[in-house]
């Protein structure tokens, strides 16, 4: 492919209409992203509480009732959890009752924590609502115990040796099983150790549209009952009882059962709400949410590429190849500039508005910016090849919209059943938009892990391979009948 041919194709491409269309695509991404950021703000009765962030800057959930005391560099806490109960408010189908019960990841147990500041590092051993005994630390990490899930009495022990924390469980207090050991670097000489209880919201899905789903979350509370409480290695001090995070604001807590700690005859009852885990209560905003203008930009790119491809239907293979290179490069630059502008600006606006935003590493940011620009460029080349093959711009536009834009658009909204949306994002070129995914699925967090909530069924690289495969196949089909010789280009038909 000669430089002269590329220059000629660039001259043919840079008409006022095409450049204006690509500029409009970039402005759609930027303006709609900024409108999304400006329109989202956090509102509270009075000052909003600080958003919990872990040491790595990620937004986390860290809300529970904590009965605690000091623990030195060498020590342990041992308890027997005799009962775990809970309350779920207004669950389906009637949404008219408050019922006893535990959500699957309700938690009651023991914890060693770097103070009572939300987001500080910790290690905890707990019984859960339906996942048995678990050892969890620093919000993202979860290790299963022996597998016992019944709510029968269970002995729990955490042992500290400097920065090393070991969690053990027992059915009888005599024979102990080590669940896990973890290193908490930088744990202070005097940490806080004690009992806790917490319970995330009850999540169910309400059907909408053609079978899509919208999340509904209701208030829940967990109650743990403990006895045989022994702390070794504690410094001089008494037990303290307080919430980590806000609590006791709901009607249930005000008028029925307040979250807190009650001790009687050596038996301690802890009631708590919230969660300790990797996601902020009520969710957080990801960077991909500011890319709502991608659908409009994609439609514009499809129209431009389809019409430009149809005009090359009678040209030689080198001309078609040069046209694909120029169209793809122009689209790549358009997407690169637009995404690089909107991401930092929208993130800054959301933070100013008090909206929690999950931070992104430099590598993730580069993957998002370059990846989305690459996807738009590949879509442009794919549709240009469709134009060459169909020889009609309008036909290529319809095929491109049906094959790429429509699957992407409908899967970003809660319109289709989740399995249908997932298969669309496995089998169509729209799978490549997984490069924009920043959300992470955690087994210990119940959430709506579906495309409409920002979760793609394929990893970003696999989705990109799907689009590449479509592009290669369609390009090969389109140029099969074109002359191989680099002859002078034939006049383009008026369209």
pLDDT band at 42 (very low <50, low <70, confident <90, very high): confident
- pLDDT at residue 163, as a whole number: 97
Name the one residue in this structure whose structure tokens are 């005000």: 254
Global pTM reads 0.90
25-36 pLDDT tens trace: 999 999 999 999
Q: Is the dihedral of CA 377, 382, 383, 389 positive or negative?
A: positive
Q: Report d(CA 358, CA 51) in Å as an integer.
A: 11
Nearest of 311, 310, 294, 337 to residue 433 by alpha carbon = 294
Average pLDDT over residues 269-298: 84
Residue 58 φ then ψ, to 5°: -75, 145
Residue 98: count other Cβ atoms within 10 Å of its Cβ: 14
Instruction: Evaluate whether 125 touches 179 at the Cβ level (below 8 Å).
Output: yes
Give the torsion through C-alpha atoms of 144, 147, 149, 154, to 10 deg.
Answer: -80
Bond preceding residue 93 cis, omega within 30 of 0: yes
We find that the CATH architecture of domain 61-277 is Sandwich (2.60)
| Burial readout 121-146 (b: 16 or more C-beta within 10 A, e: otherwise) | bbbbbbbbbebbbbbbbbbbebbebe
Strands 176-183 and 220-232: unpaired
pLDDT band at 210 (very low <50, low <70, confident <90, very high): confident
State the greatest distance between any 2 C-alpha atoms of the chain, in Å, as a whole number. Answer: 97
Q: Could you please report the per-residue DSSP string of 262-326? A: EEETTEEEEEE-S-EESS-TT--B-GGGG-TTHHHHHHHHHHHHHHHHHTTTTS-HHHHHHHHHH
> DSSP class of residue 259?
S
Q: Name which of 20-24, 198-202, 231-235 the model is least confident about.
A: 231-235
Is pLDDT larger for residue 283 or for residue 164? 164
- pLDDT at residue 458, as a whole number: 96
From the number of C-beta atoms within 10 Å of its C-beta (0-12, 13-18, 19+), residue 150 rates as exposed
- pLDDT at residue 494, as a whole number: 46
Tell me the two tokens of residue 354: 């008090």
Tell me the two tokens of residue 377: 């460029």
Instruction: Find how far residue 412's CA is from the centre of its chain.
Output: 14
48-70 pLDDT tens trace: 777 888 988 888 999 999 999 99
Is pLDDT larger for residue 487 or for residue 87? 87
The answer to whether residue 488 scores a pLDDT higher than 70 is no
Nearest of 419, 458, 409 to residue 213 by alpha carbon = 419
> DSSP class of residue 429?
G
443-471 pLDDT tens trace: 999 999 999 988 999 999 999 999 999 99
What are the start-end ranges of the H helices in 405-493?
406-411, 418-427, 460-479
Tell me the two tokens of residue 219: 């208030």
Give the torsion through C-alpha atoms of 371, 375, 377, 382, to 10 deg.
Answer: 160
- pLDDT at residue 495, as a whole number: 45
Q: Report d(CA 106, CA 131) in Å as an integer.
A: 9
Most confident of 177-186, 433-442, 473-482: 177-186
The answer to whether residue 310 scores a pLDDT higher than 90 is yes
The H or E element spanning position 89 is strand 74-89
113-167 pLDDT tens trace: 999 999 999 999 999 999 999 999 999 999 999 876 666 799 999 999 999 999 9
**Angle separating helix axes 362-390 and 294-310, nearest 10 degrees:** 30
Q: Name which of 7-11, 145-149, 264-268, 387-391 the model is least confident about.
A: 145-149
Instruction: Evaluate whether 127 touches 104 at the Cβ level (below 8 Å).
Output: no
The three-state secondary structure class of 184 is coil
Tell me the two tokens of residue 10: 């660039």
Tell me the two tokens of residue 106: 């309700």
Instruction: Evaluate whether 336 touches 370 at the Cβ level (below 8 Å).
Output: yes
pLDDT band at 47 (very low <50, low <70, confident <90, very high): low
Name the one residue in this structure whose structure tokens are 């809970």: 86
Residue 93 φ then ψ, to 5°: -90, -25
| Burial readout 50-77 (b: 16 or more C-beta within 10 A, e: otherwise) | ebbbbeeebbbbbbbbbbbbbbeeebbb
Nearest of 155, 163, 156, 228 to residue 191 by alpha carbon = 163
| Domain edges within the chain | 3-39+285-479, 61-277
Is pLDDT larger for residue 264 or for residue 210? 264
What is the chain's mean pLDDT, rounded? 92
Q: Name which of 76-90, 243-257, 275-289 the model is least confident about.
A: 275-289
pLDDT band at 254 (very low <50, low <70, confident <90, very high): very high
The answer to whether residue 492 scores a pLDDT higher than 90 is no
Residues composing the chain:
495
Q: Report d(CA 379, CA 332) in Å as an integer.
A: 10
């Amino acid at each position: 492919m000669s430089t002269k041919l590329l220059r000629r194709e660039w001259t043919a491409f840079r008409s006022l209409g095409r450049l204006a269309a690509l500029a409009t695509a970039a402005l759609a991404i930027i303006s709609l992203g900024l409108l999304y950021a400006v329109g989202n703000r956090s509102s509270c009765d009075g000052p909003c509480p600080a958003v919990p962030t872990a040491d790595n800057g990620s937004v986390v959930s860290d809300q529970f009732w904590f009965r605690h005391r000091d623990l030195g560099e060498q020590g342990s806490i041992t308890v027997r959890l005799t009962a775990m109960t809970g309350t779920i408010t207004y669950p389906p189908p009637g949404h008219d009752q408050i019922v006893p019960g535990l959500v699957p990841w309700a938690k009651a147990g023991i914890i060693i924590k770097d103070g009572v500041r939300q987001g500080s590092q910790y290690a905890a051993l707990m019984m859960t609502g339906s996942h048995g005994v678990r050892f969890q630390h620093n919000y993202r990490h979860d290790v299963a115990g022996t597998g016992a899930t019944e709510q029968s009495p269970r002995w729990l022990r955490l042992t500290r040796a400097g920065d090393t924390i070991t969690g053990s469980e027992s059915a009888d207090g005599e024979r102990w099983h080590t669940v896990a050991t973890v290193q908490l670097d930088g744990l202070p000489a005097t940490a806080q150790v004690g009992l806790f209880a917490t319970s995330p919201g009850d999540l169910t899905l309400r059907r909408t549209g053609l079978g899509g789903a919208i999340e509904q979350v209701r208030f829940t509370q967990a109650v743990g009952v403990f006895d045989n409480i022994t702390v070794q290695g504690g410094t001089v001090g008494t037990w303290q009882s307080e919430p980590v995070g806000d609590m006791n604001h709901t009607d249930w807590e005000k008028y029925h059962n307040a979250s807190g700690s009650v001790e009687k005859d050596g038996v301690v009852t802890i009631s708590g709400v919230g969660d300790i885990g990797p996601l902020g209560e009520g969710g957080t905003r990801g960077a991909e949410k500011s890319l709502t203008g991608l659908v409009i930009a994609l439609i514009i790119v499809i129209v431009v590429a389809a019409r430009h491809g149809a005009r090359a239907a009678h040209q030689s293979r080198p001309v078609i190849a040069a046209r694909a290179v120029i169209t793809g490069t122009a689209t790549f630059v358009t997407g690169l500039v637009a995404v690089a502008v909107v991401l930092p600006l929208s993130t800054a606006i959301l933070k100013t508005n008090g909206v929690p935003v999950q931070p992104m590493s430099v590598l993730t940011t580069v993957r998002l910016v370059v990846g989305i620009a690459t996807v738009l460029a590949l879509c442009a080349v794919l549709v240009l090849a469709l134009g060459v093959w169909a020889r009609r711009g309008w036909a290529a536009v319809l095929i491109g919209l049906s094959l790429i834009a429509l699957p992407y658009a409908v899967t970003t909204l809660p319109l289709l059943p989740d399995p249908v949306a997932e298969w669309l994002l496995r089998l169509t070129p729209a799978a490549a938009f997984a490069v924009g995914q920043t959300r992470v699925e955690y087994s210990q967090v119940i959430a709506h892990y579906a495309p409409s909530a920002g979760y793609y069924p394929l990893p970003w690289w696999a989705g990109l391979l799907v689009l590449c495969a479509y592009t290669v196949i369609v390009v090969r089909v389109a140029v099969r009948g074109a002359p191989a010789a680099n002859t002078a280009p034939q006049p383009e038909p008026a369209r």
